[in-house]
Amino acid sequence: MKHQINLFLFCAISLLFGCKNQKSDAVETETTDSTEVMKTTDYTEAIQGAWTTSYTNENGEDVTITTIVMDGYIAETFYNKEAKRFDGALGGSWTIDGNTFNLTFEFDTTDSTMVGQTAGLVFNMSGDTITFEGDDKIWNRIDDGKPGALAGAYLITGRKQDGEISKRTPGVRKTMKILSGTRFQWIAYNTETTKFSGTGGGTYTARDGEYVETIEFFSKDGSRVGAVLPFNYEIVDGEWHHSGLSSKGDPIYEIWTPRSILDAAKAQ
């Protein structure tokens, strides 16, 4: 059974498309003696970071929802850390128009037919909280993208094997890693077939070349929740070089390229 869709930006699929024509509180009218000037607040920077809320599902179980919104991309996950239970995830790219957050889905574990579609919801931000029209939940900010030495959205573009680095250009099969100031999530999916292959995430620190993950959810193996994984990292020519041992204990050396760089190259 699909989890209750208490989305960060979407109350329910039926509401998503209906919200597009609602009035946005981000538009203010300033009247002068001769003209009426429309002023619009840009929330693009203010909304970035990590957010959380929770609810009780139909079985009486607590569900945490955590969302990372960075650099034009978003990942949102439903889980229970204590029960080591993963309930679902969704995400993709986003833009803001006034008070409307528009998401183009790249993955959705509860409804794969949403992949490739765009939907939006009117929101109201007050300090470090967000509410959404049609939903009574309050979202609280976890961080604003800081301290986040690695904050951003990335796709894996290379690996080192047997001392040789092999690079590739991401296509329809993607592995994205998105980080706020304190939280991380990786997601593997295919935007053409809409297949979702897996995800994991939690909290992280990155300082002095050491990157440490603490896992709070893992879609394929809940027993890994609570694991603390130290890695080495460095930024080389704008790319994140990530090395150490995987959650299975296997040696890895990965290269992650910011999606902003990939998007710029694609646009040329």
Contact 100, 6 (CB under 8 A): no
Poorest-pLDDT segment among 24-38, 91-105, 207-221 = 24-38
Which tokens is 16 given? 């998503």
Nearest CA to 178 out of 45, 68, 47 is that of: 68
Instruction: Indicate if 67 and 101 belong to the same structural domain.
Output: yes
Instruction: Indicate if 76 and 130 belong to the same structural domain.
Output: yes
pLDDT band at 105; cut points 50, 70, 90: very high
Contact 152, 178 (CB under 8 A): yes
State how far the alpha carbon of 160 is from the alpha carbons of 166, 175, 251, in Å. 6, 16, 10
CA distance 255 to 168: 10
Instruction: Indicate if 117 and 193 belong to the same structural domain.
Output: no
Q: What is the DSSP string of 91-110?
A: EEEEEEETTEEEEEEEEESS
Beta strands in the chain (DSSP E): 27-31, 36-40, 49-56, 62-70, 73-80, 85-97, 100-108, 118-126, 129-132, 135-143, 152-161, 164-167, 173-179, 183-190, 196-207, 210-218, 228-236, 239-245, 251-258
pLDDT tens track for 135-165: 889 999 999 999 989 999 999 999 998 889 9
Instruction: Indicate if 236 and 177 belong to the same structural domain.
Output: yes
- Judged against a pLDDT cut of 70, whether residue 5 lies above it is answered with no
What SS3 state is found at 127? coil
- Contacting residues for 249 by C-beta, under 8 A, at least 6 apart: none
pLDDT tens track for 210-227: 999 999 999 999 999 999
Q: What one-letter code names the amino acid at 94?
A: W
Instruction: Indicate if 124 and 200 belong to the same structural domain.
Output: no
For residue 259, give its domain range. Answer: 152-267
What was the pLDDT predicted at 7?
52
pLDDT band at 39; cut points 50, 70, 90: low
pLDDT band at 248; cut points 50, 70, 90: confident
Which H/E stretch holds residue 7?
none
Say how many domains are in the chain. Answer: 2
Instruction: Indicate if 169 and 260 belong to the same structural domain.
Output: yes
What was the pLDDT predicted at 78?
98
- Judged against a pLDDT cut of 70, whether residue 235 lies above it is answered with yes
Q: What CATH number should be reported for the domain holding residue 59?
A: 2.40.128
Q: What is the pTM of this model?
A: 0.86
Instruction: Indicate if 177 and 123 belong to the same structural domain.
Output: no
Instruction: Indicate if 81 and 104 belong to the same structural domain.
Output: yes
In a domain, 59, yes or no: yes
Beta strands in 23-84 (DSSP E): 27-31, 36-40, 49-56, 62-70, 73-80
